[in-house]
Amino acid sequence: MVSGMGVSTAAQRYDTAVTRTHYPASYLLDGRVRWLLWFDGGDGSDGVVVSAPGRVPSFASLGGLRAFAGRCTIALSSETPQAPCDLDTAERWAAAPPTTLDCNGLLGAWNLLWDVAGSVGDDGAEFVRRHDAAVASDVYERMFWGCNLPSVTPLGEHFVPTWSDDEIATIAGVLREGVRVFREVVQSGDAA
């Protein structure tokens, strides 16, 4: 369980000693959109709420997620939820990676997978190892710059990274392991 996380069942009170901003986060997997509770720790300690050691509750509807958050006394941000993170596309890409990639979509998936794996302790250890190796090799950073976010890309500039076969294999390996961990630890919280 993530340090400072006090949720072990939906009925127990969430540890509010740690200041976090919580957001509903949706994802697409197996053709279905589901919801989980993502948090911004404010200090780079982003993650997802776990309901039991190594388990992340997921909900079929935003209403179900809001009800869970209410039972756990977790205040949700009033910001409009973002579009679902497309794990189906990331999984398909990783299964047979072409030499080109959508940095925005794949990096969004990578970040969600990282936050889930980092929140579940030992269950996410292999993903964390692969992630750290990819970060060390600058693959993650080049994917970030390949997103060409307006806030960090100079006007009139556009970065298109080129990838070696080894780098494509690294990205595919990170995504495959991340989706494997995600499937293992994310479970329905609808009956909670």
Find where tokens 């292999």 sit. Answer: 126
Query: Is 65:35 a contact under the CB 8 Å cutoff?
Result: yes
Query: Is 90:175 a contact under the CB 8 Å cutoff?
Result: yes
One-letter amino acid at 167 equals E
Length of the chain: 192
d(CA 71, CA 134): 38
Q: Report the percentage of the chain scoring pLDDT > 90.
A: 56
Find where tokens 């780079």 sit. Answer: 44
One-letter amino acid at 63 equals G
* Per-domain boundaries in the chain: 21-188
Q: For 139-175, what is each residue's pLDDT tens digit?
A: 989 999 999 998 988 889 888 999 999 999 999 999 9
Q: For 56-85, what is each residue's pLDDT tens digit?
A: 999 999 999 999 999 999 999 988 889 999
- pTM for the predicted model, two decimal places: 0.84
φ/ψ of residue 11, rounded to 5: -85, -15
